Amino acid sequence: MALIHLIYVSTAFREPGTDDLDRILESAIRRNTALNVTGMLLYADGSFMQVLEGEAAAVDEVFARVENDARHTGIFLIERAPIDERSFDTWSMGFKRLAAREAAAHPAYAPFFERGFDAARIGAHPGLAFDMLIDFSRRQRAIPPG
């Protein structure tokens, strides 16, 4: 079966608290595990950036659920492309909450998420979103697949 990855940015309808983020992550893990979808979720200042990877039908199903989720607005698809192998294959869903201090510590990325993720600016630089997700995945909260 052909694998794809899909990367998107969205804005939270309202600023989520820690409990809200935990519920989002728990739900993502449960649903992604059932569909054999892996990935990474970044959160910064009211915005999300996520990569989903797996078989196209499964990834598209997860993304359709995101698009219909009232907790998200301004969903911006950055990339949907075939991949040879998974980059986040050891996680049902990795998670990293980025603080302003961390943004400042990464000068190459900081301009792209000064006030949440700037989807248009990130999307205008091919490969940038994926590079950010990989880089921040090294310092994240990993949840092993089911």
**Angle at CA 127, nearest 5°, toward 140 and 77?**
85
Residues in the chain, overall count: 146
pLDDT digits (tens, 9 = 90+) for 50-68: 999 999 999 999 999 999 9
Mean pLDDT confidence for 120-130: 84
Can you tell me which residue has the tokens 């009232």?
A: 70
- Residue that wins the pLDDT comparison between 93 and 84: 84
The candidate with the shortest Cα–Cα distance to 8, out of 137, 106, 117, is 117
Whether 112 has a pLDDT exceeding 60, the answer reads: yes
pLDDT at residue 55, rounded to an integer: 97
Dihedral through CA 94, CA 20, CA 65, CA 34, nearest 10? Answer: 50
Percentage of the chain surpassing pLDDT 90?
Answer: 31
Tell me the pTM.
0.86
Name all domains of the chain by residue range, CATH numbers in brackets.
3-137 (3.30.70.100)
pLDDT at residue 21, rounded to an integer: 82
